[in-house]
């Protein structure tokens, strides 16, 4: 490999890129990684980690409300957005530093510049410097998609919401996917009036329909408004700094902030992949094979930029598999079957395997077991919200095809239960397990 400056050059220092870089280095490769902003990527810097911290912070509103029935009283309780925001951003700084130390301890050279592909074995930095590498790994992730409409420049995305100067009193959120509904729950709990606007009448497309319906009912009861079949027409800024949001077939909505959460797309614009003969997919994604190799043998891609499954743990596994395959003499692929996922809405929902609709279309003959219950904590706090667990089972084998739940701590419970679904266990295996009482998780082995 003496003909190249590096054995591996990674473009993008998110979860997938960092894992690939450090594992390749541990296999003896000479590795450099380029990042134009900060080490850690979407998840650590502007995604799941800081967002989950905001979820935790906002959940105290519910806890304080319920606390009275548990014997607690609080006088003059108040919320300080700036304090929460700054503490969250401080934790992002901490994690950024840890990622930098990880790369440093593995001997990976960090280059804090934008890098683009400039041929099959060359990258070009924003400074003009060209670097050669035997292998190039593209791991630049995705980026929020903002539709074109008049006044779209007045809107923010999930990138900017963590840096708001103040908590807006009135928020309009465009979109009804997981990012939109997570921020809707956060802002609603913190005291903002939230209106969710969607082009269709479906929220959380891809999740089980029963859970989607339950979440819609609960969030509406909490004060979140929904406007369906309402494409944006334009946004007009008022003299007082507020905005008039014009929707098709609706009266304008006044908002102090407009959050566009209409999806994310691979961040491949201007990346120079055409110089290596790589053609992008229709959504801008990089097509790869099972080993994450592109149509150019020396260039690979992992994570959201490939648009396979946009989840941090998946990107990490792809980065690991790439490094083991190319530098560890251990060909490895990622199993995308039964990947669990969660939406940290309020309440949260989580699922693994096939939804009821997917199972019927694939297997035809299925059976659905469920538990529709009011968690003990909610009963005592006089909160009417109900949890819902569903087990999708193949007939006649009784193999569990999918497990879906909405309710307090659903993601925490699902992670362990996902192991059972991945292992191919049956409904009888669940029934044979003694319940852990009193808990919400015991509903998993009591479903009828």
Q: How confident is the model at residue 193 (pLDDT cuts 50, 70, 90)?
A: very high
Q: Please indicate, yes or no, whether residues 416 and 320 belong to a single structural domain of this protein.
A: no
Q: Please indicate, yes or no, whether residues 242 and 183 belong to a single structural domain of this protein.
A: yes
Residue 147 lies in a domain: no
CATH number at residue 225: 3.50.50.60
pLDDT tens for 3-33 read: 999 999 999 999 999 999 999 999 999 999 9
Q: What kind and span of H or E run contains 51?
A: helix 48-67
pLDDT tens for 352-380 read: 999 999 999 999 999 999 999 999 999 99
pLDDT tens for 26-35 read: 999 999 999 9
Residue 96 vs residues 102, 194, 377: alpha-carbon distances, Å = 10, 31, 37
Q: What is 189-211 written as a DSSP string?
A: HHT-EEEEE-SSS-SSTTS-HHH
Q: Please indicate, yes or no, whether residues 49 and 68 belong to a single structural domain of this protein.
A: yes
Tokens of 69: 């029935």
Residue 202 vs residues 31, 162, 176, 208, 349: alpha-carbon distances, Å = 45, 26, 7, 11, 16
Q: Please indicate, yes or no, whether residues 210 and 273 belong to a single structural domain of this protein.
A: no
Q: Which residues are annotated as a binding site?
A: 52, 175-182, 263, 304
Q: Which residues belong to the active site?
A: 437
Q: How confident is the model at residue 45 (pLDDT cuts 50, 70, 90)?
A: very high
pLDDT tens for 277-327 read: 999 999 999 999 999 999 999 999 999 999 899 999 999 999 999 999 999
pLDDT tens for 79-129 read: 999 999 999 999 999 999 999 999 999 999 999 999 999 999 999 999 999
Q: Please indicate, yes or no, whether residues 99 and 16 belong to a single structural domain of this protein.
A: yes
Residue 332 lies in a domain: no
- Structure-derived torsion over alpha carbons of residues 18, 23, 24, 27, reported in degrees to the nearest 10: 160
- pLDDT at residue 414, as a whole number: 96
Classify each residue of 323-341 as buried b or exposed e, where b means 16 or more C-beta atoms within 10 Å of its C-beta: bbbbbbeeebebeeebbbb
CA dihedral for 194, 49, 44, 134, sign (positive or negative): negative
CA angle 373, 374, 380 (to 5 degrees): 155
Give Dmax (Cα) for the chain.
72
Q: Please indicate, yes or no, whether residues 300 and 240 belong to a single structural domain of this protein.
A: no
Per cent of the chain over pLDDT 90 is 97
CATH number at residue 392: 3.30.390.30
DSSP 8-state symbol, 264: E
Cβ atoms < 10 Å from Cβ of 396: 8
Q: What is the CA radius of gyration of the chain?
A: 24
DSSP 8-state symbol, 426: B
Q: Please indicate, yes or no, whether residues 19 and 138 belong to a single structural domain of this protein.
A: yes
- pLDDT at residue 75, as a whole number: 87
Residue 339 lies in a domain: no
Across the chain, mean pLDDT equals 96
Residue 233 lies in a domain: yes
Which domain-ending residue is among 235, 262, 289?
A: 262
Identify which of 144, 143, 118 has the alpha carbon closest to the alpha carbon of residue 131: 118
Alpha-carbon distance of 35 to 70, in angstroms, equals 49
Phi-psi region of 141 (alpha: psi -120 to 50; beta: other; left: phi over 0): left
Q: What kind and span of H or E run contains 370?
A: strand 366-373
Q: Please indicate, yes or no, whether residues 137 and 55 belong to a single structural domain of this protein.
A: yes
Alpha-carbon distance of 433 to 58, in angstroms, equals 35
Q: Please indicate, yes or no, whether residues 220 and 271 belong to a single structural domain of this protein.
A: no
Q: How confident is the model at residue 2 (pLDDT cuts 50, 70, 90)?
A: low
Identify which of 340, 344, 406 has the alpha carbon closest to the alpha carbon of residue 372: 406
Per cent of the chain over pLDDT 70 is 100
Q: Please indicate, yes or no, whether residues 22 and 162 belong to a single structural domain of this protein.
A: no
Q: What is 17-49 written as a DSSP string?
A: HHHHHHHHHHTT--EEEE-SS-TTHHHHHHSHH
Q: Please indicate, yes or no, whether residues 138 and 271 belong to a single structural domain of this protein.
A: yes
Q: Is pLDDT above 50 for 1?
A: no
> Number of structural domains, the chain?
3
CA angle 284, 148, 54 (to 5 degrees): 80
Full domain range(s) for residue 160: 152-262
């Amino acid at each position: 490999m003496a003909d190249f400056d590096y054995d591996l050059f990674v473009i993008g220092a998110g979860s997938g890129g960092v894992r690939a870089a450090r594992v390749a280095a541990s296999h003896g490769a000479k590795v450099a990684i380029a990042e134009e902003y900060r080490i850690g990527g979407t998840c650590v810097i502007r995604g799941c980690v800081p967002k989950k911290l905001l979820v935790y912070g906002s959940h105290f509103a519910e806890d304080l409300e319920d606390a009275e029935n548990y014997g607690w009283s609080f006088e003059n309780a108040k919320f300080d957005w700036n304090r929460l925001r700054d503490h969250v951003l401080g934790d992002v700084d901490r994690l950024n530093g840890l990622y930098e130390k990880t790369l440093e301890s593995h001997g990976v050279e960090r280059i804090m510049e934008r890098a683009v592909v400039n041929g099959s074995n060359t990258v070009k930095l924003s400074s003009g410097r060209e670097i050669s590498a035997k292998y190039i790994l593209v791991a630049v992730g995705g980026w929020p998609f903002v539709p074109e409409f008049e006044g779209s420049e007045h809107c923010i995305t999930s990138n900017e919401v963590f840096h708001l100067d103040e908590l807006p009193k009135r928020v309009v959120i465009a979109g009804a996917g997981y990012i939109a509904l997570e921020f809707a729950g956060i802002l609603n709990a913190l005291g903002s009036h939230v209106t969710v606007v969607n082009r269709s009448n479906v929220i959380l497309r891809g999740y089980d329909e029963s859970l989607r319906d339950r979440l819609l009912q609960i969030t509406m009861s909490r004060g979140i408004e929904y406007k369906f079949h309402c494409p944006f027409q334009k946004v007009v800024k008022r003299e007082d700094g507020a905005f008039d949001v014009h929707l098709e077939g609706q009266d304008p909505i006044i908002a102090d902030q407009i959050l566009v959460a209409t999806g994310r797309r691979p961040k491949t614009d201007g990346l120079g992949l055409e110089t290596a003969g790589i053609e992008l997919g229709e959504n801008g994604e990089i097509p790869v094979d099972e080993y994450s190799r592109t149509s150019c043998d020396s260039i690979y891609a992992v994570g959201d930029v490939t648009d396979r499954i946009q989840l941090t743990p998946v990107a990490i596994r792809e980065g690991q598999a790439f490094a083991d395959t190319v530098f560890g003499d251990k060909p490895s692929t990622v199993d995308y079957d039964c990947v669990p996922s969660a939406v940290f809405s309020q309440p949260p929902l989580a699922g693994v395997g096939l939804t009821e609709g997917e199972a019927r279309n694939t297997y035809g003959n299925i059976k659905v077991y469920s538990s529709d219950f009011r968690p003990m904590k909610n009963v005592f706090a006089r909160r009417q919200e109900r949890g819902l667990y569903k087990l999708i089972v193949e007939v006649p084998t009784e193999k569990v095809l999918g497990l879906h739940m909405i309710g307090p701590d659903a993601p925490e419970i699902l992670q362990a239960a996902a192991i059972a679904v991945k292992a191919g266990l049956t409904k009888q295996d669940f029934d044979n397990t003694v319940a852990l009482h009193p808990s919400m998780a015991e509903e998993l082995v009591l479903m009828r």
